[in-house]
Amino acid sequence: MTGELSPIDKAKFVAAKRAVDFVEDGMRVGLGTGSTAAWMVRCLGELVRDEGLKIKGVPTSTRTAALARDVGIEVISLDEARWLDVTIDGADEFDGDLNLIKGGGGALLQEKIVATASDQMIVIADVGKEVETLGAFPLPVEVIPFGWQTTKALVEEMLISMDVLGRNTTLRMIGDHPFVTDEGNHILDLHLSRIGNPRQVAMVLNQVPGVVENGLFIDICDTVIIGYGDGRVQVRDINDGTVENGRLDFAESDNLFTDLTE
């Protein structure tokens, strides 16, 4: 079945597979949202089923919660967990300082809350997600539906004074209707091309009335695990300043890969 996976999916899988090595029995684990995080949830489910791993998972979206339950992971709320040992999630972009853009899947609010309620945040990504400067991926900003057009105008006005290349802002749509997050909000996608000062943009955005949260994750990620299509894996720890290189040889099992929804 290995030959049926594209190089990008192989890269996502090996990053996810390496990440679950950080999970120990009895841990409370934040479960991210997105295609790469889905591989991780499946890998954890395999450990729960085949090796008796006992963990409690706090999902960052309704779809992650459904997948976690499907693969046998005990799901609890963040209020029940109160604090987490580790959160494992994907990213749309990350830079050399392990600052992130997240929210391509629309779950940035819950993802940021869960990540900041954890002792450690591990990001899993294919090598294509690494950038020198954040901003090529549109920056998601979650806004309340009431007065969203006014909020959009205020955001665009704020961007004039920011160190960014572009200022085009669009409302995320699903067909003919606005995308709605799990919290009942909308998403503005900011097409900035380059963000010269992510910390400043993140701080100023959250001062705009109507903005709930933005997709810039600054000083939150501790470790990034980068997967390659040939099975290589690199683990970078921003706190220890270490870089570990390895390779993961794997055989795809029917249980792990059947009916995986991205």
For residue 76, give the nearest of 33, 29, 108, 41 by alpha carbon: 29
- The answer to the question of whether 103 is labelled as a binding residue is yes
Between CA 242 and CA 252, with CA 247 as vertex, the angle to 5 degrees is 135
- The answer to the question of whether 125 is labelled as a binding residue is no
- The answer to the question of whether 61 is labelled as a binding residue is no
Question: Do 55 and 28 touch, CB atoms closer than 8 A?
Answer: yes
Active-site residue identified among 24, 46, 80, 111: 111
For residue 184, the tally of other CB atoms under 10 A from its CB is 8
Cα separation of 143 and 84, whole Å?
27
- The answer to the question of whether 104 is labelled as a binding residue is yes
- The answer to the question of whether 92 is labelled as a binding residue is yes
- The answer to the question of whether 56 is labelled as a binding residue is no
Helix (H) or strand (E) holding 126: strand 121-126
- The answer to the question of whether 36 is labelled as a binding residue is yes
- The answer to the question of whether 34 is labelled as a binding residue is yes
- The answer to the question of whether 30 is labelled as a binding residue is no
- The answer to the question of whether 35 is labelled as a binding residue is yes
DSSP secondary structure, 171-207, as one string = E-EETTEE---TTS-EEEEEE-S-BS-HHHHHHHHTT
Cα separation of 42 and 47, whole Å?
9
Q: Report which DSSP code applies to 232.
A: E
- The answer to the question of whether 38 is labelled as a binding residue is no
- The answer to the question of whether 102 is labelled as a binding residue is yes
Question: Do 129 and 190 touch, CB atoms closer than 8 A?
Answer: no
- The answer to the question of whether 10 is labelled as a binding residue is no
Helix (H) or strand (E) holding 109: helix 108-116
Q: 3-state DSSP call for residue 166?
A: coil
Catalytic, 244? Answer no
Q: Which positions are annotated as active-site residues?
A: 111
Which positions make up the binding site for substrate? Answer: 33-36, 89-92, 102-105, 129
Which positions make up the binding site? Answer: 33-36, 89-92, 102-105, 129
